[in-house]
Each structure stands twice: as structure tokens, then as C-alpha cells.
Amino acid sequence: MTVELRHLRCFLAIAEEGNITRAAEKLHLSQPAVSRTLRQLETHLGVRLVERSTHKLALTTQGERFRERAATALAVVTEALDPAGVRPSPLRVGHAWAALGPHTATLLRRWEREHPGSPLELLRIDERTAGLAEGRVDAALLRAKVQARALVSEPVLTERRVAAVPTGSRLAGYRTLSMADFTGETVAVNPVSGVTTLDLWPVRTRPTRALEVANTDDWLAAIAAGRAVGLTTSATPSVHTYPGVTFVPVTDAPPIEVVLAWRRDRPHPAVPSLLALARDVVATHSTPPGGRAGCAKGTMGA
């Protein structure tokens, strides 16, 4: 059997999603087709890449090693087949949600003015590394921990967390909330690109249950409908609006670090300039801690 790009894409989707069903949805394939493609790859390599059980799916040691090689190979081929060829390469910056929060528009305007020969493309990609691990972007603004050895990350700013609650609900009437106020609530979580899990809470004050959603839009809809509450960062109320969602500062939640990440082996030449500009924009246009989240309605995040 000859290994094709579809085998690499299939394996990377499974590794990213941690679930055969979600990987199949992402690739627009059937679940049996994804399972069959994975088996073909494992047979060719002569090793098991994924451990499957009734309750979970995890990469084996060999699978973790192969993940970086597969991502690198796919990125190289993607770049080689890029019809743009020798034309000036745009700096593609991925983000899963909120980008640089209230600083996003300023960053884009200043980049356009200060780097006219290097186009910047901001792309929203709903996955853990916002397309960076798969080579779909050159850099990414992330709010999740970067653990892959193939990626480099540098901090840009720190954001406080805010609660997202249904407008008119009991929690929406408070000026501030604490983590303990979530006890007994259902919390909407986005396992694909979100920053919230029930592990953030001590066991004795942990919310009743988690409602998993597939993307940011579903996260917002679940909260607006009164099915759950959410925990996000102070960036989100300043970026988007959504009727029926109110944001309230959370005083004792751990902050979130926003980083700019890029691939170690093939950095885009404009990445250092982007990092410097992002830090300067944040330093120049910083808002007071917590911002105006307490009176804002609607946003993105999870």
C-alpha cells in the first residue's frame, strides 16, 4: 500500500479531535472510512498509532512521535503545491476565537500601515492550534497551552476570566462572581478550542455537569437559551455580540495567557515583526483589568 496525503490528514484529524466521530465530521467522511484509513496507515507502518477503548481514544507512544512527522510532511507538501509559488507569501495568522480581543483591529490597521509589502491574513480555525500544527497557518494567537515540541510560543498578554450567563438569570444580576457561584450549574465547554474544563474547580465546588458543544456558535446559543453558563476571557465581550448572553467578571478565576505561536522548523520571516507589533499594541492600548465585561452582552469563546 502507498501512503497518501489522505492517510496523514486522517491521522492528524484523529489526533487533534481525540475522537473518531469528530474526526470524520471534520474531514466530511463517514466514521467507517476514517477507521479504515487509520488501519491502513498502521498496517503500512507496522505499529499501532492509536489506542482505542470503549471510553476513550489516545495516541500511543509511536503515535505521538509520528504526529510531528506527519504534520511536518503535510505542511511541506502543502507549501510545495501552493500555486502562489514565488509570489510574496502572506503571513497567515490563525485563531480559534477572539484573536487579540479588543486589540485586534488596531493590530491589523498598524500592520497594514507599517508592513505594506507583507500581507497579513487573519483566519478563524476552530481547533486546538488554530491550524498551526497542520501547516494551515504560519502563526497563531492561542489561549491554550502549547505542548508540541515542533511549536514555539511567546506570551503577548494576560486576560482575566469572565462568566457568560443567560441574560435575566440569577447570576446575571451580580456585579462580580466567584468560582463557587458556579456550584450546581451546568457549564458549557468547547473541547475543541476552549479554555474551560471542570478541572478548574475544586471538587467540592465543582459545577454539576458539563455540556459539550462543537464550536463557539453552539456555545453561545446554549448559554442564551438558558441551558448552561460559561467561563471565558475578558477578550470575548469586546469582540462580538450575541443576544441573551451577559458577561460578569469572575474575581478568583485563574487568568489566561495569550501567546503567539509558530512552527520551529519553518518560521515565516515576518513572525518576529508580528510579535513585536502585537506586544507594542497591547502595551499602548491596554484597558483596565477586567474591562467592562460586567455590563457587556454577547461574545465568542468557551
- State pLDDT tens for residues 221-252: 999 999 999 999 999 888 877 899 999 999 99
State the Cα–Cα distance between residues 195 and 189, nearest whole angstrom: 8
The mean pLDDT value of the chain amounts to: 88
Nearest to 107 by CA among 287, 301, 280: 280
Q: Which three cell numbers stand for residue 210?
A: 458539563
The pLDDT score that the predictor gives to residue 233 is 92
pLDDT tens sequence across 146-185: 878 889 999 999 999 999 999 999 999 999 999 999 999 9
Q: How many C-beta atoms lie closer than 10 Å to residue 106's C-beta?
A: 17
> Which 3-state string (H, E, C) describes 151-185?
EEEEEEEEECEEEEEECCCCHHHCCCECHHHHCCC
pLDDT interval class at 275 (50, 70, 90): very high
127-151 per-position pLDDT tens digit: 889 999 888 999 999 997 787 888 9
In angstroms, the Cα distances linking 205 to 10, 99, 137, 198, 248 are 39, 31, 39, 10, 19
Cα distance from N-terminal residue to C-terminal residue, the chain = 42
Distances (CA, A) of 49 to 16, 77, 280: 13, 22, 43
Domains, in order of start, for the chain: 5-80 (1.10.10.10), 91-157+256-284 (3.40.190.10), 159-255 (3.40.190.10)
Place of cell 478563524: 124
Question: Is there a contact between 88 and 50 (Cβ–Cβ < 8 Å)?
Answer: no
- The per-residue pLDDT for range 188-202, each reduced to its tens digit, is 999 888 889 999 999
Predicted confidence at residue 83, as pLDDT, reads: 63
Q: Which amino acid is at 11?
A: F
CA atoms of 158 and 46, how far apart (whole Å): 44
pLDDT above 70 as % of the chain? 91
Concatenating the DSSP letter of every residue in the chain gives: ----HHHHHHHHHHHHHSSHHHHHHHHT--HHHHHHHHHHHHHHHTS--EEE-SS-EEE-HHHHHHHHHHHHHHHHHHHHT-TTTTSPPPEEEEESSSTTGGGHHHHHHHHHHH-TTS-EEEEE--STTTTTTTTS-SEEEESS----TTEEEEEEEEE-EEEEEETTSSGGG-S-B-GGGGTT-EEEE-TTT-S--GGGS-GGG--SEEEE-SSHHHHHHHHHTTS-BEEEETTGGGT---TTEEEEEBTTSPPEEEEEEEESSS--TTHHHHHHHHHHHHHHSPPPTTTTGGG-B-----
Q: pLDDT (tens digit, 9 = 90+) per residue, 69-127?
A: 999 898 888 877 766 555 568 999 999 989 999 999 999 999 999 998 899 999 999 88
Q: Closest Cα partner for 129 from 118, 138, 140, 114? A: 140
Q: Who wins on pLDDT, 78 or 14? A: 14
> In this structure, what C-alpha cell is assigned to residue 97?
476565537
28: left (phi over 0), alpha (psi -120 to 50) or beta: left
